Amino acid sequence: MPQQNDVNRRILLAAHPRGLPTPADFRLEETAVPVPGDGQVLLRTLYLSLDPYMRNLMEEIGPGYAPPVPLGAPMVGGTVSRVVQSHREGLRTGDLVLANAGWQDYALSDGSDLTPLGDMPQPSRALGGLGMPAFTAYVGLLDIGQPRAGETVVVAAATGAVGSVVGQIARLKGARVVGIAGGADKCRHAVEVLGFDACIDRNDPAFAQLLADACRDGIDVYFENVGGAVFDAVLPLLNVGARVPVCGFIAHYNDADVPAGPDRLPRVTAAILQKRICMQGFIILDHYATRYDAFRRDMAAWLAAGQVTLREDVVDGLENAPAAFIGLLQGRNFGKLVVLVADR
């Protein structure tokens, strides 16, 4: 069912998932298109971004850095939206904006959370290569990871929105880059298209050995966005003085219970000590005020020069967002996942 002019389809959080979300945790509802009040604009969603952090906002108790989605409320998410009615100075009907309209066809905004996109070609880039995921890669890698020329940088989810940008920026800084991805197609893409020095298939039974073989000089920067078995394979390869920016743990977002033993913490903390490792968590929301301008300038130049590319995985239709999101948590996407909600 495509977008219509007189119906607002909204995908609500129907239940807090236990483990991997299922379609029953979401509910599609049709309501009237909202009417903008004084100072408000009506936005129509063109592209909806789907990102792993959303899983954390589906819990009853949120992660702290952002409020959880209440039951019965629309799922939140970044969007590229079109202003279709404006009662607000400075925003005109037809304007393209970066917004937080969530998983729905239409939304209201007072304009304070909107970023005008002008006549940006391929505006979905505002959700990927010029947006939050790439900014996450930029801050985590450069400010915390601080790769030096000749060092080895490892990143998992290597063809995903964050990982692929981490690896390409690390290459630009002269580092050797080893990616980790699920499947031969993604690994080939990481090497042939993204320019990684190597990419290891995390599904290979010999994964840990293959990673060690690809990191003969150890690992100086491990950009942590998955956790789980990948981290276990990385840990013994970390060099003295290694940096581990901690961006996410997609392998654990669906943990329903405290995982069984053995307890891996003492081994990890011993490595942190013995190898003088710096493990530093970050939340990208903290860094817009100080680092976003530099990111936009650098990234726009890299994209224009073709030095960084970001594959998009475009899913057609808002109604397919839940299935696409569940697939994202299983690593079934290939590139930055966006939902095409309306084409103009």
Among 87, 275, 291, 332, binds its own copies (CB under 8 A): 275
273, amino acid identity: L
Can residue 2 be called a binding residue for its own copies (CB under 8 A)? Answer: no
- Listed in sequence order, the DSSP H helices in 7-61 are 53-56
CB-wise, 76 or 247, nearer to its own copies? Answer: 247
Burial (CB count within 10 angstroms: exposed 0-12, middle 13-18, buried 19+), residue 121: exposed
Give the span between the Cα atoms of 184 and 200, in whole angstroms: 9
Taking contact as CB under 8 A, which single stretch among the options 15-23, 76-84, 192-200, 273-281 is the one that binds its own copies? 273-281
Can residue 297 be called a binding residue for its own copies (CB under 8 A)? Answer: no
Taking contact as CB under 8 A, which single stretch among the options 17-25, 155-163, 203-211, 254-262 is the one that binds its own copies? 254-262
Tell the smallest beta-carbon distance from residue 172 to its own copies (Å): 26
The neighbouring-strand residues paired with 45 are 81
Residue 273's CB is within 10 A of a number of other CB atoms, namely 9
Burial (CB count within 10 angstroms: exposed 0-12, middle 13-18, buried 19+), residue 195: middle
Q: Is residue 205 reached through a cis peptide bond, with omega within 30 degrees of 0 on the bond before it? A: no
Can residue 279 be called a binding residue for its own copies (CB under 8 A)? Answer: yes
What are the structure tokens assigned to 171, written together?
Answer: 């290459």
Tell the smallest beta-carbon distance from residue 226 to its own copies (Å): 11
CB-wise, 99 or 284, nearer to its own copies? Answer: 284
289, amino acid identity: A
Can residue 218 be called a binding residue for its own copies (CB under 8 A)? Answer: no
Residues 123-182 close enough to bind its own copies by CB under 8 A: none
Tell the smallest beta-carbon distance from residue 140 to its own copies (Å): 11
- Count of residues of this chain found to bind its own copies when the rule CB under 8 A is applied: 39
CB-wise, 89 or 263, nearer to its own copies? Answer: 263
Taking contact as CB under 8 A, which single stretch among the options 3-11, 76-84, 267-275, 316-324 is the one that binds its own copies? 267-275
Among 263, 289, 304, 344, binds its own copies (CB under 8 A): 263
Taking contact as CB under 8 A, which single stretch among the options 42-50, 74-82, 187-195, 266-274 is the one that binds its own copies? 266-274
Tell the smallest beta-carbon distance from residue 9 to its own copies (Å): 32
CB-wise, 226 or 324, nearer to its own copies? Answer: 226
Give the span between the Cα atoms of 222 and 209, in whole angstroms: 17
CA nearest to 51, candidates 135, 130, 127, 141: 127
Element (DSSP H or E) covering residue 154: strand 152-155
Among 121, 205, 266, 306, binds its own copies (CB under 8 A): 266
Taking contact as CB under 8 A, which single stretch among the options 2-10, 105-113, 243-251, 288-296 is the one that binds its own copies? 243-251
CB-wise, 149 or 265, nearer to its own copies? Answer: 265
Give the span between the Cα atoms of 238 and 249, in whole angstroms: 18
Can residue 61 be called a binding residue for its own copies (CB under 8 A)? Answer: no
Residues 14-43 close enough to bind its own copies by CB under 8 A: none
Give the span between the Cα atoms of 277 and 287, in whole angstroms: 23
CB-wise, 261 or 306, nearer to its own copies? Answer: 261
Give the span between the Cα atoms of 67 and 59, in whole angstroms: 10
Can residue 236 be called a binding residue for its own copies (CB under 8 A)? Answer: no
Give the span between the Cα atoms of 280 and 278, in whole angstroms: 6
CA nearest to 35, candidates 4, 75, 8, 10: 8
CA nearest to 111, candidates 39, 59, 13: 39
The residues of the shown chain that bind its own copies, judged by CB under 8 A, are: 63-65, 224, 227, 240, 246-249, 252, 255, 258-283, 286
